[in-house]
Structure 1
Amino acid sequence: MPSVSASTSPRETAWARAAHDLAGGWGQRQLWAHLGWQDIRQRYRRSVLGPLWITISMAVTAVALGILYAGLFGNPLETQLPYILVGFIVWGFISGCINEGSEVFVANEGLIKQLPAPLSVHVYRLVWRQTLFFLHNLVVYVVMLAIFPQPLTWRSLAAVPALALLMVNGVWVALLFGIVSTRFRDLVPISQSIVQLMFFMTPIVWIYGDLLNSSNPTVAERARIAEFNPFLHFLEIIRAPLLGQDQHWRHWAVVLAITVVGWALTLVAMRRYRARVAYWV
C-alpha cells in the first residue's frame, strides 16, 4: 500500500478515500450490474411472468385511479390516465431509491463484512435495479401511447437526460440515507412513512396545472404551495416530455440545485463516516 506523504493532511486523505470509493465502485460496473440483474431474477425465480408482475400491478392500480380521479375532477380519461400512469412509473423509481436506499447497507451486511469492495458498489447495484424496474414499466407507457396517443416531438427526448439526472440523484440519496439509517435504525420506518405521505402531497394522481389555473383563487393559491415539494420538480422533468407537454425550466433548475446540494452533503458524510459503516452494520 503506498504511503501517505507528510504533506498530505488526514482531512485530504479522507476526501481522497471517499472519492476513490465512488470511482472504484463505478469501475466495478460488471459486478454490480450482474448483481442487480440477479436480484430481479432471484425475486421472481419461480414466476412465469417474472418482473412483469410489477408492471401489471402498477398498470392495474394506475388504471383504477385514473378512472376514479377522472370522474372526481371531471377530466377526460385520455388526459387523466396518462398523467397518472407516467407519474406512477417515475414515482416507483424515486420511492424505490429512498426506501431501499435507507436499508442498502443493512441489507448487504454479509457482503460488506466479507467482500472487500467499495461501499458504493451496493448503491450502484440498487440504482441499477430500480432503473431496470423503470424500463420494465415503460412497457405500459408504450401500450398507453397506442391507446391514447400523445403529442410527442423531438423535445420528448429530454426524458433521457431527465432519467440520467434521476439516477445521479438516486445514488446520493441511497448513499446518504444508507449511511445515516445504518447508524440510526429508527430512521428507516420514519423515512418510509414520509415517502407514503409525500405520495399524496405530490401531484401524481391529481393534475397540478388544473389546480394552479383554477378559477377559485383560494385553490390556485394553495396549489402554488406544491412548488415547495421537491418531488414535484423531479416528476415534471421526465413526465412533461413523456406526455409531449411544454417544459418549464424552473423544474430543471430546482433539480440541478438539489443535485449539487445533495452530493455536497453526501461527500461530507462519506468523508466522515464511510469507514464506520462496516462496524455499524
Structure 2
Amino acid sequence: MSDQLDTLFAGIRGARPPADFAAAEQVRRRGRQRTRRTALAAGAGVLAVTTAAAGLGAIVWPSRPDGVAPPADPTPTATAPSPTPPTPTPSPSRPGPTGNAAGGLLQPGDLGPGTWRPFEAEQIQNPDRWFWGFWDGVCAAYRSDLFPSLRHQDSVDTVAYRSGNGDAATSAFQIVERYETGWGDGNLDDVRAVVDRCGTAATDGPAIRVTVVDTGIAGDESVLLKQEQTPADSTEPQVDYIAVVRVGDLVTTVRAYPSDPDRVRDLAVRAAVRLG
C-alpha cells in the first residue's frame, strides 16, 4: 500500500492547479466591489441595520426591507435550528464614554395595527458606525474627518420589525445613536453636510441621489430625505424615504417598507416621543 501511495503522490507532485489564482489586486478589487454592492443595496440605502444592531451604513439595511433573507450560501454548514425570532439587542458601543441609546427604540405598540415581531437585519459595518458611512469608498468627497460628530458617538442601537408575510409584509427600521453632551446637534449638521457632498454620488454600481424634502417634522431637529437609487440595468429609480430626528444628544434614523413619506413621518414623531 505504501508503494502505491508513493507512486500516486509522485504523479501529482508539481502539477499546476486547474486555474491560476487571481492576482492580489484583482482579489482586492472584487472585495471592494462586493463591499460597495452590499452597502448600496442595504444602506443607500442603504441604512446596515441589525436587530442585534443595524449595518448602518455599511447600516446597512437589507436589500429586501420586507425581511426576506437573501439566497443561502450553497456551502453546507452545521447550524442549530432557531425556533423563535431573535429579540432586539444593543449593538456594541464605540470605545469611549459609556452610554446606551436602547431606551429610545420603538416598540411594537408604537407601530400601529399588525402582528409586529422583531427580525434580524444587517449590521452597520462601515468603520464610522454611521448610516451615512455607506458612502465611504463610493463617494470621493466622503472622508470621516469632515464629520467631527462621529468622534463623539457614544453608542449605537438598532431594531427592525416586520408584520405579515410575503407580498403583504410591512416593515419598520430604526437606528438610535447617542452622542456625548452637546454633540447631538453637531451630528444633524454632519447629516446635512454629507448629503450636500454626496447626495449625488457617482459609483460603478447603482446611481444614488439623496435630497432633503422637508424639515421640522419631529423633535428638536429633524429632516425627511428622499433617496432615489437607479439600478445599473434600469432607468426607473427605486424611491425610499428616510427620517433623521434629534432629541437632545440622541439621534434616530427611521425607515419603513413599503416606503411612504407619511408613514415615515409618523414613525419619526413616535420615535421622537421615545427619545424624549
Normalized against structure 1, the TM-score is what? 0.29
Normalized against structure 2, the TM-score is what? 0.29
Where is the strand percentage greater, Structure 1 or Structure 2?
2
